[in-house]
Amino acid sequence: MAHSLHLYQIKDTYYFRCRIPADLKLWFAGRDDIKRTLKTKSLTQAKKLLKVWSYKAERLFTLIRSGALTPVQAHRLVQEFKCNDLKLTDNMEHLSLPEAGGTVICLGGESNPVRAVQVDLLSDVVEKYIAEYKATQKAGAPSIYELETKCRQFVRLVGDMDIKRITRDTVLGYLDVLRKLPKNMAKTKKYAGKSIEDVVRMKPKDIMSDTTLNNYMVRINSFFTWAVRVGYVDRNPADGVKHGKTKLVRPDELRKAYAKSDLAQLATAYIGMKPGEKAKLADSPDRFWLPMIALYSGMRLNEICQLNTHDIKQDTESGVWYFDIDISEGDEKMIKSAAARRKVPVHKALVSLGLLEYRSRMVDRQAPRMWMNLKLTGRGYHKSFANWFLGNGTGKGFLRKYVTTDEKLNFHSFRHTFIDTLKQKRADELIVAEIVGHSNKSMTTGRYGKPFGLVDKLAIMHMVEYGLELETLQELAGVTIG
């Protein structure tokens, strides 16, 4: 029996019902209305409670629409409302909202005089963490960029507040919003200029992977672990908060290796290049050589992109040519870890294609780097090549246009293919790990054993054969050599 638009009775108990505006249904999991028991059988008492709940609902709708709340704050208030826990005068007074200039406003009533307390804004603490990480960690630019991006996005989503006020519920709300965001949001044109709320309303299907979401939580957990250690907070609110996985996946299933048919199609795509595309290889030799080097060495993309001409050397004792992968005194070259410092022999397939001749040409031109067209950015030298090979969010790249549409296949799959080929050949695992720059955690062989010789490494590498007709690719290599 309904007594008013928002008040009705079931048996003897009165209930509050409120329709959710169409533009806000996303925040309430698509529901049309909210129903709440008023826990009273008295019509007089029910009418009093109706006024309170009607005010709460309108206040909540207004706050969400205002844009003043961060997604995490809005999510938290909705959950409190749905659980009958929203005490407007209590919760709103303690809800700080960021405004321009870093000031903080409070909602819901006049503020009372309080004892001055130390306030450590989340944004300030995050920047101190990033600065200390840069100063003390031997991390490359990609790792630093990832740390900066994830920690600063955390501030953006939860709001800039006193770090001591961040709770486990805050972190859970942050994770809930992350689960609704698309991958590569910043690089995708259709999301450009849109707020987080607008993007969430679009209900993107290309959401972030389980691995990416867990990586976000690892970074936030590490930040709060540091914050506890240096005394900003007493407890880590992110401790134990993980996304988990929607399905069980073995490590080898996270990325795919190229099948021989894929590699054959890759060769066909190169051979079938239009004359104009082939001519561009003279100015962009990386477009040909980077996939070939990765395929026959297992090297990482940025390791190849940052090669200097003197990084390809010939061993005086064995005569073996090799890539000398190391850091530089400045910030121009970086490696993923200490294990990534290594010497990788040049595979005979690369010699056959003419890589050494290309290097000699660059030395004769007094070029300091192998790929002079690649420019250094905050994450290394790979950006322009990656845009050409994989696409940049506005269009498909070479790989998707001409080789495969499988999203699990990318440039890193060349490394996966190289390693998997050696695994199937039963190659010595320790030598393979050293070739590809994986750490040896064994106390005996890792700490006390010397690196394997170039001859031994080259013998293992020559177990890698893909059945490609290299002669057909030599014409393209010749374009880069001139």
At 151, list the tokens: 């920690």
At 60, list the tokens: 């909540």
Residue 312 has pLDDT above 80, yes or no: yes
Per-residue pLDDT, averaged over 394-402, amounts to 87
pLDDT at 341: 81
Rounded distance between C-alpha atoms, residue 468 and residue 376, angstroms: 33
Q: Residue for token digits 């246009």?
A: 401
Per-residue pLDDT, averaged over 335-359, amounts to 85
Per-residue pLDDT, averaged over 352-375, amounts to 95
Q: Nearest-CA neighbor of 128 among 259, 3, 42, 230? A: 230
Same fold, 122-249 and 260-481: no
pLDDT at 210: 85
Q: Nearest-CA neighbor of 153 among 120, 131, 185, 128? A: 185
What is the SS3 assignment for 126? helix
Phi and psi at residue 194, to the nearest 5°: -95, 145
Rounded distance between C-alpha atoms, residue 269 and residue 246, angstroms: 36
Work out the percent of the chain whose per-residue pLDDT is above 70. Answer: 81
Which residue pairs, CB below 8 angstroms and at least 24 apart, start in 463-467?
463/421, 463/422, 463/425, 463/427, 464/296, 464/347, 464/418, 464/421, 464/422, 464/425, 465/349, 466/260, 466/263, 466/295, 466/421, 467/260, 467/263, 467/264
Most confident of 98-112, 125-139, 262-276, 327-341: 262-276
pLDDT at 339: 56
Q: What DSSP assignment string belongs to 37-86?
A: E-----HHHHHHHHHHHHHHHHHHHHHHHHT-S-HHHHHHHHHHHHTT--
Residue 196 has pLDDT above 90, yes or no: no
Per-residue pLDDT, averaged over 320-332, amounts to 75
Of residues 377 and 30, the one with the higher pLDDT is: 377
Contact 474, 354 (CB under 8 A): yes
52: β partners = none
Which residue pairs, CB below 8 angstroms and at least 24 apart, start in 159-162?
159/69, 159/70, 159/72, 159/73, 159/96, 159/97, 159/98, 159/122, 160/98, 160/102, 160/121, 160/122, 160/123, 161/96, 161/98, 161/104, 161/121, 161/122, 162/96, 162/119, 162/120, 162/121, 162/122
Of residues 63 and 350, the one with the higher pLDDT is: 350
Rg of the chain, C-alpha, whole Å: 29
SS3 content of the chain, % helix, strand, coil (to 5): 50, 10, 40
Residue 238 has pLDDT above 60, yes or no: yes
Rounded distance between C-alpha atoms, residue 149 and residue 187, angstroms: 13
Contact 414, 301 (CB under 8 A): no
Residue 89 has pLDDT above 50, yes or no: no
Residue 5 has pLDDT above 80, yes or no: no
Residue 38: other Cβ atoms inside 10 A:
21
pLDDT at 447: 52
Distance of CA 330 to the CA centre of its chain: 26
Q: What average pLDDT does the structure give for the chain? A: 81
pLDDT at 394: 65
Residue 318 has pLDDT above 70, yes or no: yes
pTM of the model: 0.58
Per-residue pLDDT, averaged over 248-273, amounts to 81
380: β partners = 377
Contact 302, 334 (CB under 8 A): yes
Domain limits, the chain:
7-94, 122-249, 260-481
* Residue range 421-464, pLDDT digits in tens: 999 999 999 999 999 987 665 544 455 557 789 999 999 999 99
Rounded distance between C-alpha atoms, residue 57 and residue 72, angstroms: 18
According to CATH, the topology of domain 122-249 is DNA polymerase; domain 1 (1.10.150)
Q: Give the helix ranges, DSSP H, for 231-372.
A: 260-271, 275-280, 286-297, 301-305, 348-353, 355-364
Of residues 4 and 342, the one with the higher pLDDT is: 342
pLDDT at 107: 37
Rounded distance between C-alpha atoms, residue 217 and residue 174, angstroms: 10
* Residue range 28-65, pLDDT digits in tens: 776 778 888 888 888 888 888 877 787 788 778 877 77
Q: Looking at domain 260-481, which CATH architecture does it have?
A: Orthogonal Bundle (1.10)
